[in-house]
Amino acid sequence: MDARPAVLFLAHRIPWPPNKGDKVRSFNILRHLAQRYRVYLGTFVDHPDDLAHVDRLSEWCADVHVERLHPLPARLASLRGLLSGEALSLPYYRNATLQRWVRDTLANRAIERAVVFSGPMAQYLDAAALQRVVVDFCDVDSAKWTQYAASRSGPLAWLYRREGRRLLAFEAAAAQRADAALFVTAAEAQLFRTAAPQAAARVGVMQNGVDAAYFSPAHDFTRPWPEGGPVLAFTGAMDYWPNIDAVCWFAAEVLPALRARHPGIRLAIVGMNPAPAVRALAAEDVLVTGSVPDVRPYLAHAEVVVAPLRVARGIQNKVLEAMAMARAVVVSADSATGLAGQAGEAYVSALSAVDFTAAVSALLHAPERARAIGSAARRTVERCYSWDAHLGRLDELLEGASC
């Protein structure tokens, strides 16, 4: 008989495979929990390809309940929030069958602890009586919507501002009900404390990590593109709006100037589900890969990795993975927030298109400096971004420690 205590884990997206930023974090939380607890996982599958991976979850879970989430119908369902007065994100992730599974599992499995990954999933515990609840918000999602509103106009700007306000109200209430509300950086945690001071005592930090043995320059990878000019790489899920915005901005505002300075330069956009705007960037010197079985060859053979996100919250997994691969990374100021290591030594930070052009160009002109920055980046990851070290905080919180 398994003597480990039970824990409920709710995640807004299936944690396997860890091929997106949020899934990297949720999978590492799941794997860590499974070492100490019998895990009962409730989650959604929002992409048909992920249905093939559901059975794999039994490796870490005592029981798994998966609901299929179809994005378009879910968006339509989310509009109910306009009538109910709640954030649209809540009905988007609301499912009566999952709610019944949560209720029955809590009643029948003697579960006293729960970990919630992503704020809207906290709605499933509104009426639950548990000894310890930890909500991993990761980022302040309500602030993202407010930030999105600034780049929109008309009804869409109004809708995004509304979502920011209503979601913040829900986040604050969920944090107050929880024993701990976690964020990925100290800056995100402080942002939430300021926006929701009534929940400040519950707020803590649990940083992202990276598997430095897997993402390592010690591995030998075949070059994924023909010999030629220098290659810049951007990695990430390419149906995610901040990534779409980042590469489209970079291709329009930075790449032309780099082409003039470095004839033959190429940009590789590496990531699943490229949106139409991303696919439209494909050209002789712009590679749009779509899904790849392994992102590491693309990082290993890029002269410079860029992360020009203009809407970014928390530490980006894509940045940590590139740093672990000992690549020189040029990041936007937003992407650099909370990043360990010294700017200019372990990574390069850029604020504008002119800054990005100058930073990338300088690294291409001085490959020895790029190698030195890559080496410092690798050391920073080894020193500061161990998953085990960060996730030990979760154990403490589930056993009764306070933030």
144 and 278 housed in the same domain: no
- Return the closest-CA partner of residue 257 out of 226, 227, 232, 225: 232
Report which residue type is found at 3: A
- Position 126 pLDDT exceeds 90: no
Contact 331, 164 (CB under 8 A): no
Q: How far apart are CA 199 and CA 174, in angstroms?
A: 9
What integer is the mean pLDDT of 353-372?
Answer: 98
Amino acid (1-letter code) at residue 225: W
User: Could you tell me if 39 and 119 lie in one domain?
Assistant: yes
The stretches of 254-366 forming alpha helices (DSSP H) are 255-261, 276-279, 296-300, 317-324, 333-336, 353-365
Which residues have CB under 8 Å from 151's CB, separation 6+? 311
Whether the pLDDT of residue 15 is over 90: the answer is yes
Dump pLDDT digits (tens) for 234-281: 999 999 999 999 999 999 999 999 999 999 999 999 999 999 999 999
Give yes or no: residues 12 and 101 share one domain: yes
Which residue type sits at 333?
A
- Helices 186-195 and 141-150 pack at an angle, to 10 degrees, of 80
Q: Are 64 and 58 in contact (CB under 8 A)?
A: yes
- Cα separation of 211 and 214, whole Å? 5
Same domain, 182 and 80: yes
In this structure, is residue 218 part of a structural domain? no
Helices and strands: H and E segment counts in the chain: 17, 13
Number of domains in the chain: 2
Residue 214 in domain: no
Q: Please return the burial class of 286, using the count of CB atoms within 10 Å of its CB with bins 0-12, 13-18 and 19+.
A: middle
Domain that holds residue 49: 6-209+386-398
What lies within 8 Å, CB to CB, of 149 at 6+ separation is 156, 157, 158, 160, 161, 164
Closest by CA to 301, choosing from 309, 312, 289, 310, is 289
The single residue listed with the structure tokens 């992503």 is 118
For residue 76, the cross-strand partners are none
In this prediction, residue 352 carries a pLDDT of 96
Does residue 253 lie in a domain region?
yes
What is the residue-wise DSSP string for 69-87? --HHHHHHHHTHHHHHTS-
Question: Is residue 403, in this structure, part of any structural domain at all?
Answer: no
Is residue 205 located within the same domain as residue 252? no
> What is the predicted pLDDT for the residue at 19?
87
| pLDDT number for residue 224 | 96
Strands 113-117 vs 6-11: parallel, antiparallel or unpaired? parallel
DSSP characters over 132-143: EEEEEEES-HHH
Query: How many CA atoms, within 13 angstroms, populate the side-chain half-sphere of residue 374?
Result: 23
Taking the CA of residue 246 as centre, how many other CA atoms within 13 Å lie in the half-sphere pointing to its CB? 30
For the domain that residue 197 is a member of, what is the CATH number? 3.40.50.2000
Statement to judge: residues 21 and 92 lie in one domain: yes
Kindly state the average pLDDT of the residues 309-321: 85
Are residue 184 and residue 50 in the same domain, yes or no? yes
Instruction: Give the mean model confidence (pLDDT) for residues 181-205.
Output: 96
pLDDT digits (tens, 9 = 90+) for 24-68: 999 999 999 999 999 999 999 999 999 999 999 999 999 999 999
Q: Is the same domain home to 355 and 308?
A: yes
pLDDT at 128: 77
Domain contains 222: no
Domain identity same for 148 and 277: no
CA distance 210 to 393: 16
- How many beta carbons lie within 10 A of that of residue 263, not counting itself? 9
Please check whether residues 203 and 240 belong to one and the same domain: no
Query: DSSP character for 181?
Result: E
Q: Which of 105-109, 116-120, 189-193, 338-342 has the lowest mean pLDDT?
A: 338-342
Residue 200 confidence class, pLDDT cut points 50, 70, 90? very high
User: 19 to each of 133, 138, 172, 185, 241, how far by Cα in Å?
Assistant: 27, 17, 30, 21, 17
For 145-198, where are the E strands, in sequence order?
180-183
Question: Mean pLDDT across the stretch 219-236?
Answer: 96
pLDDT for 315 equals 77
* Same domain, residue pair 71 and 19: yes
The verdict on residue 216 lying in a domain is no
User: According to the model, what pLDDT value does residue 207 have?
Assistant: 92
Stated pTM of the model: 0.86
Beta-sheet pairing, 231-235 with 266-270:
parallel
* Shared-domain flag, residues 45 and 182: yes
What percent of the chain lies above the pLDDT cut of 90? Answer: 90
pLDDT-derived band of residue 336, with 50, 70 and 90 as boundaries? confident
Domain annotation covers residue 368? yes
Q: Which residues contact 315 (CB under 8 A, 6 or more apart)?
A: 184, 185, 207, 208, 337, 338, 339
Q: What are phi and psi of 172, to 5 degrees?
A: -65, -45
Other CB atoms within a 10 A radius of the CB of residue 340 amount to 15
Quick one: tokens of 75?
Answer: 């968006």
Q: What is the pLDDT of residue 285?
A: 96
**Residue 220 within a domain:** no
According to DSSP, residue 207 is labeled -
Query: What CA–CA distance (Å, rounded) separates 201 from 234?
Result: 38
